[in-house]
A and B are shown apart, each in its own frame.
Chain A
């Protein structure tokens, strides 16, 4: 167990729907990162939060949004879902935004299937 908790583990939904993915970071970590992993694109950075503030945005679609709450958990909202949004969504956390060579700790992911 990495200490980063993601729920749900699996999600099957229809096109056009909206879903919310939840992440609880490792105890003591203030920074949360969201990644999307698909077979053709690999791991793609979506967004980073630090202590409730957005710090960096990657290839995140306008249909997607995220936030980090005062208790430090984070939610990734995906709306108007398309078949191409089917992927593994990972959350990761670290103590601080700049951790040099220490990287960050990933959760086990949420597998989203859009049908």
Chain B
């Protein structure tokens, strides 16, 4: 079983729709949960992160973590064509002086005007 699973989509929605993106993970030791956004031909950029369980809201974006079921979600309200991108969940783990992110494969989102 991979550490992080993410449905690759693609997902196509009309402008203004609510979008739900999800990941599951296997290692219960993860404490931080991140979402990156990657536009075509660009590097991923950090969208938001949460610590432990619960919700975090940032404008039209809400990140949700359910540690009991090892399930993380990103909701986009009032989606815009500019939200069209690939969204990747990422879980960090660190050791003695090391730090790395494990990424889901990403979900490609298209918001149609």
Contact = CB atoms under 8 A, between A and B. Distances in A.
A70 B92 CA distance: 27
Nearest to A58: B100
B43 A43 contact: no
Interface residues of B, number: 27
Contact of A101 (B41, B88, B92, B97): B92
Interface size band for A: 20 to 34
A4 interface: yes
A45 interface: yes
Contact of B102 (A2, A45, A94, A98): A45
B98 A56 contact: yes
B101 A103 contact: yes
B51 A101 contact: yes
B32 to A, nearest CB: 4
Question: Which residue of B44, B51, B94, B102 has the most chain A CB atoms within 10 A of its CB atom?
Answer: B44
A90 B97 contact: no
7 tightest Cβ-Cβ pairs between the two chains A and B: A106-B43, A56-B98, A42-B105, A101-B49, A43-B103, A101-B32, A55-B98
